[in-house]
Amino acid sequence: MNQKFINLAAIVAMGVCSCGGNKTSSKMEITKEPFGAHNGQQVDLYTLANGQGVKLKIATYGGTITELWTPDREGVAGNIALGFPSLDGYRSEAFLKSGPYFGALIGRYGNRIGNAKFTLNGVEYTLAANNGVNHLHGGINGFDKAVWSAEELREKDAVGLKLTYLSKDGEEGYPGNLNVEVTYWLTKNNELKIGYKATTDKLTHCNLTNHAYFNLSAGKAPDVLGHELLILADKYTAVDAGLIPVGLAEVAETPFDFRTPRAIGERIDDDSEQLKNGGGYDHNFVLRSGGGELSLAATVYEPASGRILEVYTTEPGVQFYSGNFLDGSLVGVDDVQYVKRYGFCLETQHFPDTPNQPDFPSTALSPGQTYTSETIYQFSTK
């Protein structure tokens, strides 16, 4: 076992993890099939399988993770990601109205920018306001609605998909032509690795992430409130009613203290102004690692299935969202109804509203620089 996972057991005191799976084949595979068309562009669906019971489906529309199958402790695979079986689900009126961003790549800026504005080098830029007066997840037509170019990747112990997209100068109000490359790798070690790169020809802001929703019970539980969560963060970004940061706050003696594993639902309805602002958890946690080096950020354990999700990232923050705005109006893969708190997100990122918060780690990207970021989702059981 890799040394980092040996160390993890001591950190979280959750016991020994063992990766189960339907080991009917050890062959790494990647296949492609049509998934429809969007604005005259063909959309493809790629399926990556690692021969260990893990299977990942990615659509070129939004670079979207549509399904993610992992084995439980008995070796029975189940879909742990929220998504739809067809492109129509991602373009339906109900989906666009509720805006959950299931499984999509998010850019240019993951999370919110206050008042949909920022200033760079004395120039004020006005962005698309798509979340009240604020800008959310790249705007009205962010990276989640783009059709990405795709290239299959293969290595000895992994299969992958490289997605590329050119975000043109002025798109959704952002300056500069931004060339973006995102790679998904599925490894023999049951890891989903996501690598991000971007370059620009004009000073801009860049903060990329993936908006996957997980339910580790694979549909066996009605919500994620029984999942046990660990986040390696001593602080979080406190927010106003519009979910724009107003400063950093200590997690100690608050419902935001996940420094030891706690059930998501244990304190989610506490009488806390911060929880009321988000309708539950919808907050950025300031990771102890500080970003830069690939480090453990969070661990989630689902007791009934035995599934464990470990999140590693080079980012300084992770947005924990407990699916508060899901309302049952969306029906996904296998006719699952996505009710309130049916899924959770752990979006690795820089902090919300950083362009307007000079004390936060910067998201500015200059010509000649390369934006890089990496996140690993590791799947196992106990």
pLDDT above 90 covers what percent of the chain?
A: 93
Distances (CA, A) of 148 to 57, 60, 182: 15, 5, 10
The number of angstroms, rounded, from the C-alpha of 6 to the middle of its chain's C-alpha atoms is: 25
Which pLDDT belongs to residue 25?
56
Sheet strands side by side (includes 191-200):
149-155, 158-167, 178-187, 191-200, 371-381, 307-313, 295-302, 228-231, 262-263
Which pLDDT belongs to residue 213?
98
Q: What is the pLDDT of residues 264-303, one digit of tens each?
A: 999 999 999 999 999 999 999 999 999 999 999 999 999 9
In this prediction, residue 29 has a pLDDT band, given cuts at 50, 70 and 90, of very high
Q: Is the distance from CB of 258 to CB of 235 less than 8 angstroms?
A: no
DSSP 362: P
Q: What is the pLDDT of residues 349-366, one digit of tens each?
A: 999 999 999 999 999 999
* Catalytic center residues: 211, 347
Which pLDDT belongs to residue 17?
38
The mean per-residue pLDDT over the stretch 332-345 comes to: 96
Element (H, E) at 229: strand 228-231
3-381: CATH number: 2.70.98.10
The mean per-residue pLDDT over the stretch 353-382 comes to: 98
Neighbouring C-beta atoms of residue 2, cutoff 10 Å: 10
In this prediction, residue 367 has a pLDDT band, given cuts at 50, 70 and 90, of very high
Which pLDDT belongs to residue 219?
92
Q: Is the distance from CB of 139 to CB of 133 less than 8 angstroms?
A: no
**pLDDT of 178 above 50:** yes
In this prediction, residue 11 has a pLDDT band, given cuts at 50, 70 and 90, of very low
Q: What is the pLDDT of residues 195-252, one digit of tens each?
A: 999 999 999 999 999 999 999 999 999 999 999 999 999 999 999 999 999 999 999 9
Q: Is the distance from CB of 71 to CB of 59 less than 8 angstroms?
A: no
Distances (CA, A) of 295 to 179, 282, 370: 26, 22, 21
Residue, of 10 and 343, whose pLDDT is higher: 343
